Amino acid sequence: MPEDTIDHLDFDTLNEQAISKPLVTHIYTADPSAHVFDGKIYIYPSHDINAGDAFDDLGSHFAMEDYHVISMDTPESNAVDNGPALHVKDVPWAGKQMWAPDAAEKDGTYYLFFPAKDHAGIFRIGVATSQFPAGPFVSEPEAIKNSFSIDPAVFKNDDGNYYMYFGGIWGGQLQRWRTGHFNGEQPESPFAFLPGDDEPALCPKIARLSENLLEFAEAPKDVLIVDEDGKPLLSGDKDRRFFEASWVHKYNNKYYFSYSTGDTHYICYAISDNPYGPFTYAGRILEPVVGWTSHHSICSFGGKWYLFYHDSVLSKGITHLRSIKVTELLHDEHGKIHTIHPYKI
């Protein structure tokens, strides 16, 4: 639910109407990236704090400093906070704003991929490693070469290749990289350099990772999202175009690219036969939640699929104090995903 509606909400009623409850309540968590490692669910969220920064369209109030890993034996069991896994002070290249992370495993090593602003104020993507899925993680001394923007999501394909999807507009700075180089002009305007409403929307990015998962093995490419006629979604199509929060899962040999529309507050998805796309828009996964942002992940456990997401009901609508949740996700016989309403109608 958009920020401008929350002053009129009854949060006690909303809490009762919510289809799921916060997984943890002693800290605020958001942007949950969920994976099953060794038969157990591990969730890699952002850790929201009340840092006192002013609310703006650059996301300055999202001033997260560290990561906690949350684990669950099953989607119905109690969630456990495994404590701090990585702090910005332990990342040599990073200055602030440890935003939405993701994780992967290869050959017994666990990798935490995370965005942060470097000391020049430019978002980069870093990687840290651990021998344990809950960490603690040790960061590489430098960000991934040629990385930029936010919201890394790493997908392991059936052929053993790992791909990173990433990008986010407005405060995520994706629009500042349209020429291939960072454009630092008009730094206080998140709307500078965005395409016009009648131009193709900015695309999220994809890059295959190197064998050691520490670098890009190729230059990042556009992930094209098209309509039913094969035409790229336009920048003005705000109910469907990409804003942030990439995620990919595979179902019945199809690749599902899901994402947030940002200022219109939907989680949508598109389908392809190829991890690079193009992806054809297919519908909505999640209707708007309380709070401004919507960010999710999808994973399977015990033969069922689950959507991990967040809202701001626990904090009574404070945009940057969110709580992660989980609910079952259903595909129909045609592979379409049932739209989820986060509050009972």
Mean pLDDT of 248-272: 98
Mean pLDDT of 303-316: 97
341 assigned to some structural domain: no
Sheet-wide strand order for 267-272:
225-226, 279-286, 267-272, 254-260, 244-251
Whether the per-residue pLDDT at 7 is higher than 70: the answer is no
Burial environment of residue 214 by CB neighbours within 10 A (0 to 12, 13 to 18, 19 or more): middle
Q: How confident is the model at residue 302 (pLDDT cuts 50, 70, 90)?
A: very high
147 assigned to some structural domain: yes
The CATH number given to whatever domain includes residue 155 is 2.115.10.20
Q: Taking a C-beta distance cutoff of 8 angstroms, is the pair 150, 46 a contact?
A: no
| Average pLDDT taken over every residue of the chain | 95
Considering the candidates 199, 244, 273, 287, report the single residue annotated as catalytic: 244
Q: How confident is the model at residue 189 (pLDDT cuts 50, 70, 90)?
A: confident
Whether the per-residue pLDDT at 57 is higher than 90: the answer is no
Mean pLDDT of 63-70: 96
Q: How confident is the model at residue 138 (pLDDT cuts 50, 70, 90)?
A: very high
**pLDDT tens column, 95-111:** 999 999 999 999 999 99
d(C-alpha 89, C-alpha 304), whole Å: 39
**Is 263 noted as a catalytic residue in this protein?**
no
pLDDT of residue 254: 98
Whether the per-residue pLDDT at 54 is higher than 70: the answer is no
339 assigned to some structural domain: no
Whether the per-residue pLDDT at 5 is higher than 70: the answer is no
43 assigned to some structural domain: yes
Cα–Cα–Cα angle for 268, 303, 287, rounded to 5 degrees: 20
Cis before 200? omega within 30:
no
342 assigned to some structural domain: no
Instruction: Note down the domain range covering 290.
Output: 3-329
92 assigned to some structural domain: yes
Whether the per-residue pLDDT at 124 is higher than 60: the answer is yes
**Is 244 noted as a catalytic residue in this protein?**
yes
Q: Please give the tally of structural domains in the chain.
A: 1
219 assigned to some structural domain: yes
Mean pLDDT of 128-132: 98
Q: Which amino acid is at 166?
A: F
pLDDT of residue 109: 98
170 assigned to some structural domain: yes
- Helix and strand numbers, DSSP H then E, in the chain: 1, 21
pLDDT of residue 10: 87
Strand pairing of 279-286 and 225-226? Answer: parallel
Place of tokens 């870093």: 126
Considering the candidates 12, 31, 56, 239, report the single residue annotated as catalytic: 31
